[in-house]
């Protein structure tokens, strides 16, 4: 039987900071086998950052596990920075890190916004990708952003009401602009107040059943600030042109082995986008987890992702 449980906790054998421009320094780490098959883990958000748990999707005896906190996220500095922060910058960062580490090709593993970045990177650099493992598909389209800001109320009306009622009535006409103004305010208290509400709104909608642990983590200051600021920045400034760019360019990556893992009841990144991606890319293996929401830590999602990394052991 293929393994479906997370691997035991491990520590990195190497960490570093990658100075990518005059503003940003990016945290990166390596764990697992120094001579293993390389895999890069792309966290979600954008802005969520990575955690030690993310190393555990991969067999450390087989994989050389590389994790990088993207611009403004996690242990990268400055925290929550939106200057020089676009998809194109992040793709260039991945190439710089890959070159610095002496890696010719690697697996790319990304969930939620990480799936967006993984698809974007693979379409820009297909020859650098051994395989793709994608979870909770998000294609950065206006309809998906509108769903996040307004549509999730149909399933989580209590969370959405808290999200909207944080703003005074006169600021509720354009939720994204109102939150963006607050998240980029020079006043730290104003920034943090908006960041916590935004992050906890997303956290409350991310699991099939309520998760007090996830909600608590969503309200942590550093996580909330980087997630909310960078998400609002990307939602406002970094839509793709044309909007269906990731679907339109599937031919660039059709030959790359891929697994798509999607929770049936994912409310943050609804299954429609994963279904559209699979219809455009039927060669990719498509695994709909019937009893899961959005979080990678949902039991069924977690198991499907580990099974995918185990299956990809045959690819080098």
* 226 is annotated as an active-site residue: no
112 is catalytic: yes
User: Which residue among the candidates 93, 178, 266, 295 is catalytic per the annotation?
Assistant: 266
**Is 294 labeled as catalytic in the residue annotation?**
yes
Q: Are 37 and 316 a contacting pair, CB within 8 Å?
A: yes
HEC-encoded secondary structure of the chain: CCCCCCCCCCCCCEEEEEECCCCCEEEEEEEECCCCEEEEEECCCCCCCCCHHHHHHCCCCCEEEEEECCCCCCCCECCCCCCCCCHHHHHHHHHHHHHHCCCCCEEEEEECHHHHHHHHHHHHCHHHEEEEEEECCCCCCHHHHHHHHCHHHHCCHHHHHHHHHCCCHHHCCCHHHHHHHHHCCCCHHHHHHHHHHHHHHHHHCCCCCCCHHHHHHHCCHHHHHHHHHHHHHHHHHCCCCCCCHHHHCHHHCCCCCEEEEEECCCCCCCHHHHHHHHHHCCCCEEEEECCCCCCCCCHHHHHHHHHHHHHHHHCC
- The answer to whether the peptide bond before residue 242 is cis (omega within 30 degrees of 0) is yes
Q: Which of 54, 294, 295, 303 is catalytic?
A: 294
Catalytic residue, candidates 43, 76, 93, 112: 112
Annotated catalytic residues are: 112, 266, 294
């Amino acid at each position: 039987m293929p393994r479906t449980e997370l691997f035991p906790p491990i520590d990195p054998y190497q960490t570093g900071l990658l100075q990518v421009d005059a503003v940003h320094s990016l945290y990166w780490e390596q764990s697992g086998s120094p001579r293993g098959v390389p895999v890069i883990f792309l966290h979600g958000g954008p802005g969520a950052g990575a955690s030690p748990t993310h190393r555990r999707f991969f067999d450390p005896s087989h994989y050389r596990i590389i994790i990088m906190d993207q611009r403004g996220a996690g242990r990268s500095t400055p925290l929550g920075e939106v200057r020089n922060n676009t998809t194109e910058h992040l793709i260039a960062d991945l190439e710089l890190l890959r070159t610095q580490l002496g890696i010719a090709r690697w697996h790319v593993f990304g969930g939620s916004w990480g799936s967006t970045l993984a698809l974007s990177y693979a379409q820009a650099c297909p020859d650098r990708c051994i395989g793709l493992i994608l979870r909770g598909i998000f294609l950065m389209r206006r309809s998906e952003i509108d769903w996040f800001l307004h549509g999730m109320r149909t399933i989580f009306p209590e969370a959405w009401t808290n999200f909207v009622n944080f703003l005074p009535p006169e600021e509720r006409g354009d939720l994204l602009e109102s939150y963006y103004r607050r998240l980029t305010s020079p006043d730290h208290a104003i920034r943090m107040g908006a960041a916590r509400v935004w992050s906890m709104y997303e956290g409350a909608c991310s699991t099939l059943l309520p998760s007090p642990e996830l909600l608590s983590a969503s309200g942590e200051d550093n996580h909330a600030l980087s997630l909310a600021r960078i998400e609002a920045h990307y939602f406002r400034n970094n839509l793709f042109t044309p909007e269906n760019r990731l679907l339109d360019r599937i031919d660039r990556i059709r030959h790359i082995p891929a697994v798509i893992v999607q929770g049936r009841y994912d409310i943050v990144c609804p299954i429609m986008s994963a279904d559209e991606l699979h219809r455009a890319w039927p060669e990719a293996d498509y695994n709909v987890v019937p009893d899961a929401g959005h979080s990678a830590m949902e039991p069924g999602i977690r198991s499907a992702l580990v099974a995918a990394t185990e299956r990809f052991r045959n690819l080098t």
